[in-house]
Structure 1
Amino acid sequence: MGHTTAAAAAAATTTTTNTTDGGDSESISLLQAEKIPKDSFHLAYLIYFTLGTGYLLPWNAFITAVDYFSYLYPDASVDRVFSVAYMVVGVISLLFIVFYAHKSDSYIRINVGLALFVVSLLVVPIMDVVYIKGRVGIYDGFYVTTAAVALSGIADALVQGGIIGAAGQLPDRYMQAVVAGTAASGVLVSFLRIFTKAVYPQDTSGLRQSAILYFIVSIVVMIICVVFYNVAHRLPVIKYYNDLKTQAKNEQEEKGVLTGALWRSALFNIVGRIKWYGFGILIIYVVTLSIFPGYITEDVHSQTLKDWYPILLLTSYNVFDLVGKSLTALYLLGNANVAIGSSFARLLFLPLFWGCLHGPEIFRTEVPVTLLTCLLGLTNGYLTSVLMILAPKTVQLLHAETAGIVMVLFLVVGLAIGSIVAWFWVI
């Protein structure tokens, strides 16, 4: 698919936008749609879904294996150190990417990020077999593991920013695929936790085997992601939209818009256009991370389900998060104001979950906590998907990638703030 076709399609898009007669506009839109290659066997959709699943697995592997790391390094605050290393490095990396995305190729960024993911994931199992061997208190291993977590933070910024940015240039269904994939990652990890708890003994050997399994599964999925991503660029439907972007970029470069002060002005304009979408995403994750997973794993207890209770609650959240992110494939809320307002309305979850600890006895049973947890996941998933789909469509095609990366930056900042609030807000 060459630039001529892309230019024709771009011209058709412009004509459609500027036509005031409804019949003419509809016929031009149909003509343009006929030129768009089909996504045969939904392969591009499946690839973007898999990529969304993949880029969250490394973090999930590190944090899910935290029990094993805490056993190896009893004097270290493993979960806090990992969170700080991952979040801080990720945010700094994303800031660099936002400012320099127009000068770099997302194809290279994503491939480099996927390679860094594989390297960081290999560190733990190799070091365990060759050096640590299940021994306690070898803190050189902790420092190396923390460095691997930080490396994953860089990789996450490269891959997540690139994938969300790339999906922002495509039709809505591909962003929905990526976002749903991120939820599928949580579901996969939850089922892995259930499997390892049911199969492996809850002792040193069992913790070690569980941790190694998490990393092996993540490495396999990441290698699949590398193959899938490089296949995606050969698919006609992806090539079509990449050609459209290239055509638009060439036109802007001829005008000098992508250089110096003009680019900085364009960047501030992009942020201005999507800022409320970004604040909606930010508050979604401030609320979610204030409650999940800390409240669920530490604050609630069940005499009946015992230590299975938090695992089942985590699984319930992840399953309903996936349901919410999949619902936008059936119905997409088109009113951004409603979606943003609903994001802020989720602040009501804070007093509701507080009531499940300190309210009447009936609220402190398994059923209300489980229902609220499912609703927390469902709203998190649906509203995230809606805002991530709508935001890149508010800017020109050329700037859709940057808009997607900025949205990821808002999301990561929301995760960081939510994680901090979770430490200080004692339910």
Structure 2
Amino acid sequence: MGVSGETHDGDSESSQLLTTQPNKIPKDSFHLAYIIYFTLGAGYLCPWNAFITAVDYFTYLYPDVNVDRIFSVVYMLVGLVCLLVIVLYAHVSDAYIRINLGLALFVVALVVVPLMDLFYIKGQTGLYSGFYVTVGATALSGFGDALVQGGIVGSAGEMPERYMQATVAGTAASGVLVSFLRIFTKAVYSQDSEGLRKSANLYFAVSIVVMIICIIFYNLAPRLPVIKYYKDLKIQAVIEEKEEKGSLTGPVWRSTLWDIVGRVKWYGFGILLIYVVTLSIFPGYVTEDVHSETLKDWYPILLITGYNVFDLIGKSLTAVILFENSKVAIGGCVARLLFYPLFYGCLHGPEFFRTEIPVTVLTCLLGLTNGYLTSVLMILAPKVVPLQHAETAGIVIVLFLVVGLAAGSVVAWFWVI
């Protein structure tokens, strides 16, 4: 269901191709294509979630370094540089190869850490050669993320809206999975060195299983008639463009790329703003700044779970109602700046605002708005360019998203509510 307040550029080129001969569009039998995109969306965030959720164990092993910040900087910096390169060469590289390579790198990065712990570290503290290997594995995951996330979002951009919605909802499902794993490990394992070690190995084991499922699903996807249909449409659009403009090389490609960036820049700005606001408040604020006498150390875990569940609800809502007015969506992104004074009030305002209920409600609202607005903008952006450039538009949007994540993380360092 769509609610439109304006005529969309995307209703032109790409949408016309997508709706040609609608009777011939194959059905997504058993919603298999939807399930594949949902699983891939969940999959490409699993490695990062494994590293960052096991940060308690890594902090215990390497007490003299700021583990979570080093992980964040390395992962995002590598991902950002790789995405820039991918954007520049998207027109001459094969998404199928990029995604498979990225998934393979994920598996390598995820296997290295538990194997090193099993055969070398064995729970001992201060073996900093192990830390350097772990940081290397984090960098490898950042490289894999750029290849996989750029490719999957780009690929979903070539399909109808529901497949981008599936991908984005999958990313939220990854956060929910990690939150429930965190609750499970805290409830079942002791919070000493051995318990932290078991928890970390569980996160990595689950992520490895998810990666293997993603590899199988992604390589099955091209055989599905509905995915093959839209791939053929893209090939047809590429051939037509080549006949009209010639080969997209050098100045022609740069001109085309700038046109794509120009068309999606406001969607990208909205995405960037969403993640600057979110990352500067979450998770730092909810894990470090608020406290509960009743819930004690369960409080931040439950707040993070609440955020992730509502993020998933927001990203799933676009399957039911999608506001196709991009100006309203981008306005909503700007309106989220109001979370700053609201969260400030939870620390320094009247006593009632400093209790669990207002903090929990605000955290869930932060997640809900993050999820819904992200999903809306990610769905709409690739539809404002011709079908043959939808993949590149998707990668450009991911680039804005990663810049937003990085900027939000930096703001969180320097800005204390």
Matched, 1:362 2:352: yes
Distance 1:344 1:15, change over 3 A: closer
Matches of residues 93-172 of structure 1 in structure 2 within 5 Å?
A: 93-172=82-161
Amino acid aligned to 1:138: L
Q: Which runs of 4+ in 1 moved over 4 A?
A: 13-18
> Residue by residue, what CA displacement relative to the aligned partner does 1:228-257 show, whole Å, maximum 9, x if unpaired?
000011100000000111111223234325
Q: Distance in 1 between matches of 2:72 and 2:93?
A: 28
Matched, 1:45 2:34: yes
Matched, 1:400 2:399: no
Q: Distance in 1 between matches of 2:254 and 2:23?
A: 37
Amino acid aligned to 1:131: Y
State the percentage of identical aligned residues: 76
Amino acid aligned to 1:389: I
Structure 1: 5+ residue stretches without partners: 1-12, 19-27
Matched, 1:378 2:371: no
> Residue by residue, what CA displacement relative to the aligned partner does 1:13-36 show, whole Å, maximum 9, x if unpaired?
979959xxxxxxxxx95x711110
RMSD (Å), alpha carbons: 1.5
Amino acid aligned to 2:378: M
Distance 1:359 1:248, change over 3 A: same
Q: Secondary structure at the match of 2:99?
A: helix
User: 1:339 — aligned with what?
Assistant: 329
- Which of 371, 378, 399 does residue 409 from structure 1 map onto? 399
Matched, 1:283 2:273: yes
- Check the 8 A contact 2:13/2:386 in 1, yes or no: no
Distance 1:74 1:101, change over 3 A: same
TM-score normalised by the chain length of structure 1? 0.93
Q: Secondary structure at the match of 2:265?
A: helix
Amino acid aligned to 2:96: Y
Q: 1:259 offset after TM fit, Å?
A: 1.0
- Check the 8 A contact 2:13/2:387 in 1, yes or no: no
TM-score normalised by the chain length of structure 2? 0.95
Matched, 1:259 2:249: yes
User: 1:5 — aligned with what?
Assistant: none
Q: 1:282 offset after TM fit, Å?
A: 0.1
Amino acid aligned to 1:282: L
Q: Distance in 2 between matches of 1:245 and 1:332?
A: 25
User: 1:80 — aligned with what?
Assistant: 69
User: 2:6 — aligned with what?
Assistant: none
Matched, 1:310 2:300: yes
Aligned residues: 405
Q: Secondary structure at the match of 1:305?
A: coil
Q: Distance in 1 between matches of 2:266 and 2:399?
A: 13
Matched, 1:60 2:54: no
Q: Distance in 1 between matches of 2:376 and 2:178?
A: 24
> Residue by residue, what CA displacement relative to the aligned partner does 1:188-226 show, whole Å, maximum 9, x if unpaired?
000000000000001000000000000000000000000
Matched, 1:178 2:154: no
> Residue by residue, what CA displacement relative to the aligned partner does 1:153-208 show, whole Å, maximum 9, x if unpaired?
00000000000000000000000000000000000000000000000001000000
Q: Distance in 2 between matches of 1:265 and 1:320?
A: 40
Amino acid aligned to 1:390: L
Amino acid aligned to 1:410: F
Q: Distance in 2 between matches of 1:81 and 1:324?
A: 30
Distance 1:81 1:303, change over 3 A: same
